[in-house]
Amino acid sequence: MRRLIVIVVSILIILLALEFHAQTPPAQTQKPPQTQTPQTPPAAQTPPPAQAPPPAQTPPAAAKPPAPDPLQLAEDWLARLNNLSNWTLTFEGKEVGREDLVNKMMELYAPDVVAEVPPHDDEQIGPVILRGRGNVQKWVDKISRTQVRLLYIQRRQTKKQFEGTKMIYSTPLPWGGVGISFEIIAAWSRREDRRKFTGPGSVFLQYNADGKIDRLRLYVAEISEVKAL
């Protein structure tokens, strides 16, 4: 008799368990299919009336280009300047690559650029104000023709654990673009006699919203000749 009761109760428990299993949704335990089909969002059928429309179609990265890195701008300007003497002269006296280097430097400047640069040589006194791209090109061209071994380097600063840090000062300009400044050591040799000169200085560059240089101030002071020991 006891055995019969145990069997009946077991059958009932099994039946109840089967009943419970049939009520639970099978999808919850299934993996999603590998090929995704377009899904209609459940919210589409009953959109919330207070919700704002979806944002603009363009992704946020394309709307605003990333701000230029001031250190990169400074290094690019210095590299192009130093490259101005990296052209060659053939045995026939033909200059190879000089114009390309000048053009490479001039890519950086806006048409209405104003630049203040040091006098070209001992035969000039006073500031040299270059108005317009044409005059800046003459200046760049003159450097490439008359100077060799150009080595304008950024000064580095060391303090505590910060060793040899290149300091760039930058600020957004009120009219758009960015202004940067940095300290340099300038060194160059005269092509005519290879006499070498050096001096500390500073560079101020204003890049407009199009990424072109609107203003340049290059100061090089205390210029002295480098003598062999």
Report the site for another protein in 26-85 (rule: CB under 8 A).
none
Least CB distance from residue 158 to another protein, whole Å? 35
Q: Nearer Cβ to another protein, position 131 or 195? A: 131
The nearer residue to another protein, 132 or 200, going by C-beta atoms, is 132
**Using only C-alpha atoms, what is the Rg of the chain?**
36
CB of 76 to another protein, least distance (A): 26
Query: C-beta of 142: minimal distance to another protein in Å?
Result: 7
Cβ closest to another protein, residue 122 vs residue 210: 122
**221 touching another protein, by CB under 8 A:** no
Count the Cβ atoms, other than its own, within 10 Å of residue 180: 20
The DSSP secondary structure of 16-77, one letter per residue, reads: HHHHHHHHS-GGGGSPPPSSPPP---HHHHS--TTSPPP--SS-HHHHSPPPPPHHHHHHHH
Neighbours of 57 (CB within 10 A): 5
Contact (Cβ atoms closer than 8 angstroms) between residue 143 and residue 186 = no
| Shortest distance in whole angstroms from residue 85 CB to another protein | 19
Which residues, 132 to 171, sit near another protein by CB under 8 A?
Answer: 132, 135, 138-139, 142
**Token pair of 92 as six digits:** 């026939």
- Tokens (6 digits) for 217: 């101030």
What is the closest distance, in whole angstroms, from the C-beta atom of residue 220 to another protein in the complex? 14
Site for another protein in 80-139 (CB under 8 A): 114, 119-120, 122-132, 135, 138-139
Q: Considering beta carbons, is residue 104 or 145 the nearer one to another protein?
A: 145
Between 111 and 119, CB nearer to another protein: 119
Total residues interacting with another protein, rule: CB under 8 A: 18
Cα-Cα-Cα-Cα torsion 79, 119, 155, 212, nearest 10 degrees, comes to -40
Strand partners, 159: 162
- Give me the least distance between CB of 219 and another protein, in Å please: 14
The pair of three-digit structure tokens given for residue 134, joined into one six-digit string: 């044409």
Q: Residue 138 or 156: which CB sits closer to another protein? A: 138
- For residue 192, the SS3 value is coil
Chain positions contacting another protein, by CB under 8 A: 114, 119-120, 122-132, 135, 138-139, 142
